[in-house]
């Protein structure tokens, strides 16, 4: 009986970093990134600015895969 090696996926390629944002007027948005640095920098920028599309950011969260 022959055993075949399983192909391993690169865990870095499959990781998705997300920024969840709750806005005023019951609006919300979600940004998805493949690059952690880009995701974190955009998160920090949005948190500092505090506005998207003329709506105030009420809550913002950064989520990275564990």
Q: Which two tokens stand for residue 13?
A: 């390629």
- pLDDT confidence of residue 66: 85
Mean pLDDT, to the nearest integer, of 11-21?
A: 85
- Residues 6+ away with beta carbon under 8 Å from 53: 23
- Going by pLDDT thresholds of 50, 70 and 90, the confidence category of residue 28 is very high
Domain boundaries, given as residue ranges, for the chain? 13-63
H helix count then E strand count, the chain? 2, 4
What pLDDT was estimated at residue 14? Answer: 80
């Amino acid at each position: 009986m022959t055993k075949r090696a399983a192909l391993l996926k690169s865990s870095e390629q499959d990781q998705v970093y997300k920024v969840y944002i709750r806005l005023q007027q019951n609006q919300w948005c979600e940004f998805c990134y493949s690059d952690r640095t880009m995701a974190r920098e955009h998160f920090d920028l949005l948190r500092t600015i505090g506005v998207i599309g003329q709506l105030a950011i009420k809550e913002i969260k950064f989520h990275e895969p564990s």
